[in-house]
Chains A and B, each alone.
Chain A
Amino acid sequence: MYPDYLKGLLEKVEQTRPKRLELAKTGKPVYPPMNAAEREDVLSKFHPDSAADARRAVRIGPNRGESLTTEISELLEAHSMIDPVRMEPHLRKPDYETDLLIIGGGGAGCWASIAAMKNGVSSMIATKLRMGDANTMMSEGGMQAAVSPTDSPSRHYLDAIGGGHFDNKPELVRALTEDGPDVVRELENLGVIWDKMEDGSLQVLHGGGTSRKRMVSCRDYIGAIIMRTLMDEVENHPDQINIREFEPAVELLLDDKGQCAGAILYDLDTERFLVVKAKATIVTTGGFGRLHIRGFATTNHYGATGDGLVMAYRAGANLKFMDSVQYHPTGAVYPEQIAGFLVTEKIRGAGGQPLNKHGELFVFPREPRDVESAAIIRECATDRNNGIQTAAGRTGVWLDSPIIDQIHGEGYTRHQFPGMCRAFDRYGIDIVKQPMLIYPSLHYQNGGIEINDRCETNIPGLFVAGEASGGVHGRNRLMGNSVLDYNVFGRRAGKYASEYAKNVKLGNLTLNHVTAYAKEIADQGIETDLITPMILPSYAPEDVKLQQLARLGNVPARHSMLRSRIGQGEGKKAC
């Protein structure tokens, strides 16, 4: 239930709704979409990436000298968990040997293992938490795929590359958009239940930045449906796919020819390091929302700490577009218990409208995400001061959901958005009758480890797919293109990595790159006690963290990631 202090503001939303409904029914934009100059203006002034201290140059590694998101530079300029000298004897006696190591059991990882299996190659999936503990599971609204007669894959290409401000790698955008329709069919054949029209054609809706209705969906549980389908399929092949849960990778292994040759896992149960020797390795570790960049709340999974970036970077992989962060325009602001949670963009795709405290539209509801987020931040900033404050100290704007049933008919919202309804029902808010309060929430790692359209990196034998990769979305991803991304590139990675694994000859395993990286840190005079990958964020109160420090010795225990998360000033508070 909304508290009394919001009642008056809620009434304003009601008052303006009939006019806004009329406008929506004309089929024309309910608010003028921005042109290039307007987009540039709002982004440069209000997007969190544009803040003075949002970026700084990284001092070591392949991207040395390049300006990256500040938190990422810190994450990269950090110590390994591994002491190469002590690990050396173990490298000669690997705990596991496999043709293909897949790091991460989300959507991309599952697809990679399935595609490799179809190519006759067995694999091992090592994952930090359980299978399916991934951002894949949490996507709600839909997946873009050019399936309708009025649309085409090349039009999808134009929308995606424009949304990414023309920085995207063209070959990747082509792969993404051209594989889209086939991914829809393949998923269907695995048992994914798409929302369909009476005649069997796919229901398509708009998303931010789409010029054709292109969003296919599974009500508002697309991630949960796809993830559980893929996991179930993976688990149907225990002889070909070996699953290791609660064993995150913490470093990649190279051989003496510079080829990627597996990884070192860290068993969270026994706190033991395990050596995996693999002919090919695919990083499908997902994104970094749990770094709480610039102190933002996040929509992301508990394990989204950017582990893959760190490992690949230490091994010498190039990063791409790691200076840009996606904030989802609509994270929940009220109630406090669900602050930061994702409110699907499908709400706006179905006609939902962002409104300021006067109940007025202030932005076209379906701008690309960075533009929409910046516009919401601008509306709440001191100049305009049109945001709505909560008692907990948060600010947001309304997202008018009741208008959806008025556009599409009674019952539409409950059927199309069961997850959203349930999330708010728990707190006595019926989104069919009342709007939601929202504000941008840290959502997606736009960039990542640079790949080509075969998911290859600059390191032979190292492949990357999904959110961990960089290039396909440029500096801004559109809604529904990440679901498509992990499907398209997960599949491609499995295919090309398994092909590679059939022919490669491995040399002796080495961790010399970790030694060299440590030397680079020392040579640059970098002083840090941060150990990465972070593995899991800590939400212990600050005073408790200080007491926890006492138990940390020289050996990195699983709480070691808490070090350096304390007392580093602004922007670090939420880590």
Chain B
Amino acid sequence: MGGVRQTETEGGKADNQGQPQARTVTISIMGKRAQVPEDATIMRAIEHTGQQIIRGAGCREGFCGACGTIYRMPGDYRIHTGLACTTMVKEGMALAQVPYVPMEKAVYDLEALTPDVDTIKRLYPSIFRCVACGTCTKACPQGLQVMDYVQAAKRGDIADLMELSFDCVACGLCALRCPAEIVQHKVGILGKRLYGRYLRKESKELDARLQEVKDRKFDSEYAELMSLGREALSERYYARDSE
């Protein structure tokens, strides 16, 4: 078993000692130059230097949006954006992590809302300032059509807003780059909740099952299963049919 056990650390391979070091690139982490492995993500590169990330690391797999990062490349005037956990370092990269994105979330009672443009207007009026420049779309590390979902929100097309913002990780990079200063990702969350609450198709099967549970229909089956000894239970388990 020892041969297949994977003993690598996140930062490098523990069983790689004595072998040639990985090739490195030079990057600048908040103005400080550092040599880091060329195959590292930004997150692993920062940690390779010995920094303990407090703000700026979360799930480390691209779901949570904690590690939004901005960077520039040599000879390139543009500001680039990415998630530190999934963006690779490149020679000459100059970067800073964004520790927090200040914004105001609308506070609301979902039960009192309607899934339409009136709700959007009331809760996030700022989105009507959108000038359709597309900066948000360019900034999105998930590659979403952010500007398009803002347009959908402006039309009150909640289904489109949901669909286009479904994969949003709420890193807030769009909101930081937006010249109209709107909070795209929060509008996306509102859109999804409105869709799930008001525009879903109802499941009759679920209604029926909930009624059965309420009527305590399964009480006797539970009582019987819970009374079985280990062996009898095992027998029942391995004999059960499968769909």
Contact = CB atoms under 8 A, between A and B. Distances in A.
B176 to A, nearest CB: 16
Contact of B203 (A166, A202, A235): A202
B1 A539 contact: no
A224 B52 CA distance: 25
A223 B240 CA distance: 30
A20 interface: no
A188 interface: yes
Contact of A138 (B10, B59, B208, B236): B59
A246 B226 contact: no
Contacts, number: 272
Nearest to A377: B4
Contacts of B167: 221, 418-419, 422
A521 B30 CA distance: 43
Q: Is the interface of B mostly helix, strand, loop or mixed?
A: loop
Interface stretch (B70-78, B124-132, B190-198): B190-198
Contacts of A157: 222, 225
B13 A393 contact: yes
Interface in A213-229: 213, 219, 221, 223-225, 228-229
B243 A212 contact: yes
Interface in B78-111: 86, 88, 105, 107-110
Contact of B61 (A182, A202, A341, A573): A341
A182 B233 CA distance: 26
Given A152-B218, A246-B54, A393-B16, A191 B192 contact: yes
A361 interface: no
B11 A301 contact: no
A35 B57 CA distance: 43
Given A295-B6, A539-B10, A544-B50, A223 B63 contact: yes
A439 B226 contact: no
Nearest to B17: A542
A13 interface: no
Interface residues of B, number: 85
Interface string A140-166: 000000111110111101110110001
A191 B197 contact: yes
B117 interface: no
A133 B230 contact: no
A339 interface: yes
Given A138-B59, A185-B206, A235 B222 contact: no
Nearest to B41: A337
B215 interface: no
Interface residues of A, number: 108
**Residue from B4, B9, B107, B204 having most chain A Cβ neighbours under 10 A:** B4
Interface stretch (A80-88, A313-321, A380-388): A380-388
Contacts of A529: none
Given A196-B200, A224-B169, A539 B189 contact: no
A414 B106 CA distance: 33
Contacts of A380: 4
B8 A574 contact: yes
B66 interface: yes
Contacts of A206: 243
Interface in A350-382: 377, 380-382
B162 interface: yes
Most buried by B among A130, A149, A154: A154
B225 A423 contact: no
Interface string B205-243: 110111001000010011001100010011011101111
Contacts of B218: 152-154, 178
Interface string A335-348: 01111111000000
Contact of B240 (A211, A302, A377, A538): A211
A2 to B, nearest CB: 16
A192 B196 contact: yes
A339 B162 CA distance: 31
Nearest to B202: A200
A202 B162 contact: no
Interface string B46-71: 01111111110111111110100000
A439 B189 CA distance: 34
A236 B109 contact: yes
Contact of A228 (B1, B47, B189, B238): B189
B139 interface: no
Contact of A541 (B11, B57, B230): B11
A407 B183 CA distance: 41
B4 A423 contact: no
A154 B225 contact: yes
Contacts of B63: 137-138, 221, 223-224, 419
A301 B16 contact: no
Given A541-B12, A574-B14, A161 B233 contact: yes
Contact of B58 (A46, A137, A149, A544): A137
Most chain-A CB neighbours within 10 Å: which of B1, B14, B143?
B1
A228 B209 CA distance: 27
A322 interface: no
Contacts of A563: none
B200 A188 contact: yes
B154 interface: no
A132 B209 CA distance: 31
B58 A130 contact: yes
A190 B110 contact: yes
Interface of A: 35-36, 46, 48, 51, 129-130, 132-133, 137-138, 146-150, 152-155, 157-159, 161-162, 166, 170, 174, 178, 181-182, 184-185, 188-194, 196, 199-202, 206, 211-213, 219, 221, 223-225, 228-229, 232-233, 235-236, 238, 246, 268-269, 292, 294-297, 299, 301-302, 336-342, 377, 380-382, 387, 392-395, 418-419, 422-423, 426, 439, 536, 538-541, 544-545, 547-548, 558-559, 570, 573-574
8 contacts: A190-B193, A190-B196, A228-B189, A297-B10, A302-B57, A337-B40, A539-B11, A570-B7
Given A153-B218, A224-B64, 9 more contacts: A129-B66, A133-B59, A137-B63, A154-B222, A166-B233, A188-B197, A211-B243, A297-B10, A423-B62
Query: A-B pairs with the 7 shortest C-beta distances?
Result: A191-B193, A200-B201, A162-B237, A154-B221, A191-B196, A544-B50, A295-B7
